[in-house]
Structure 1
């Protein structure tokens, strides 16, 4: 019975790990081991033991799969609050949110957007100005901060 339980537990682990290691081999090995261990328990220990192992597998596997699926964010919402190219105009000034080497992110009017420089690296927090919008690329350059 120890061998049967060991194969049963290892097989359950293999079936559950199939969700994270796709490729069918691990799942097939796990299902084969489950089938073998349930069959052995049924024939050597009687139908109550085999049925008990079967019920545990039938309840445990779907419950674990459902719990794993809930952790994966399948229902994420995209709210669209980021800056769009239509909001951005050449001459607008903002701040580099990340180091620009030469690509990075910047903040314009409180919205974060991806930007490019023409090759010059800029540090995070540097004052920048939009010099061009080329297709879907926002090109920026260093801007001198004005004292008010």
Structure 2
């Protein structure tokens, strides 16, 4: 499984962005403040339905805009799926796969598994075992819902 492309609209500092990915290795490079981490956050959103930075969904809507959307074309063996997340200021978050809404986010978790470790996660090493348990629970929930 791999992400073929990603389209961002009004997501944080990306007013409109289309990115094509290689099935091999991809590098995201750029000057400070251009939105590299926001691209990673968008990919995390597609995986688990929320920001890895802990932001409220509404805080991820670009300034002076009413909504954001994140869309990706996912290649899975001989099948392609389109994942889309839409968050507006006026309604709750919508997560769709192939234009069909998930009734609850939990139904989506595990479709596109990911592990995100960032400098913000230094507490996994230095804090109590509770933070490590919480991290592991989040990872395991993507593969085993029980």
The structure richer in strand per residue is: 2
Output the TM-score relative to the length of structure 1. Answer: 0.21
The structure richer in helix per residue is: 1
Using CA pairs under 8 Å that are at least 6 residues apart, name the structure with larger relative contact order, 1 or 2: 2
Output the TM-score relative to the length of structure 2. Answer: 0.21
> Rg bigger for which structure?
1
